[in-house]
Amino acid sequence: MTSPRCSGLRDWALVARRRSSADPSRYRATARDRLASAIPTSWRGILGEAVADPSFSTLAGFLEGERARVTVYPASELVFNAFVLTPPDSIRAVVLGQDPYHQPGQAQGLAFSVPNGVVAPPSLRNILRELPVTPIGHSLEPWARRGVLLLNAVLTVEQGRAGSHRRKGWEPFTDAVIQAVAASPRPIVFLLWGRDARAKRHLIEGGRHIVIEAGHPSPFSYSRYFRGHAGFVAANDDLVSQGQPPIDWSL
C-alpha cells in the first residue's frame, strides 16, 4: 500500500515537471540562480550584465541537464575556481585557454592546469618547458594565487569529449570577463596562445595592456609557434619598463 507521504512526493514531482514543461523560462531562471550563486562575491558586481544575459540562463539549464545525464568536468564546486583564487583586484595577468581537460582527475577549473600528482598533459608539459626556472610541481594554482587569471573560454566539458560545451553559452560570459579585466586602469598581461585565444584580442581595449601572442602549446604547434615565444620573460620586461613589479612565474 502506498503511503500518503510517498503519494504526495510523486504528486509534487509531477506538478514540477508540468510547470517546467509549460514554462521553460521558470526552470532556466532557477538554474541560472544556482549557477550564478557559485560565482565569488568579488566578481558579481562586474559580471552582473553577463549573468543577466539570456545566454547565461540557457547555459545554466543546459548544464543541469548534462550533469543529470553524463559526467561533466570540472566538478560543480570547481567551475569558477579561477575566479575564487584570483579576485578582480589581484589580477596581473590573464592566460586564456580553450576548455577544460576531459579525462578523470584532470580539470580543476584553471586553464591548462592539473593537480599535482596527476600526469601533466602534453600542453602543460610544454608550458613548463618554457618557464625561466625549472618547476617543482605542475599545478598552476600558485600562479592563480599570485594574480594570474587562468581562464578557459569554455568552463565545462563532457567526459571524453573535448569541445563538447562550446557554443552552449560560456563564450559570451567569458568574453565579458575579458572585457571587465581589460577595463582595469593598471597594465595587465594577456597571454594569448593559439588561434582561438588570439581571436579574443579585439576584446582587450587600451594601449596600456601587454598582449603577447604565440602558438598553442600543444605538440602540434609547440616547436614552430610556441617554443621561445610563450612570453614569460617578455611580459616581465614590459611590466618593469612600466614601473610594475615582475610576475613570479615559479611553481
What per-residue confidence (pLDDT) applies to 17? 44
Tell me how far CA of residue 199 lies from CA of 36, 42, 210, in angstroms: 26, 27, 16
Q: Give this prediction's pTM.
A: 0.86
Q: Which residues of 20-35 are buried (b: 16+ CB within 10 A; e: fewer)?
A: beeeeeebbeebbeeb
What per-residue confidence (pLDDT) applies to 149? 99
Give residue-wise pLDDT tens across range 55-96: 999 999 999 999 999 999 999 999 999 999 999 999 999 999
Give residue-wise pLDDT tens across range 104-125: 999 999 999 999 999 999 999 9
What per-residue confidence (pLDDT) applies to 26? 53
For 176, the grid coordinates are: 565579458
Q: Which residues are catalytic?
A: 99
Closest CA to 151 of 209, 81, 103, 53: 81
Burial of 125 (0-12, 13-18, 19+ CB in 10 A): middle
Query: Which amino acid, 14?
Result: L
Separation of alpha carbons 177 and 192, rounded Å: 15
Superfamily of domain 9-241: Uracil-DNA glycosylase-like domain (3.40.470.10)
Q: Which residues of 220-238 are buried (b: 16+ CB within 10 A; e: fewer)?
A: ebbeebbeeebbbeebbeb
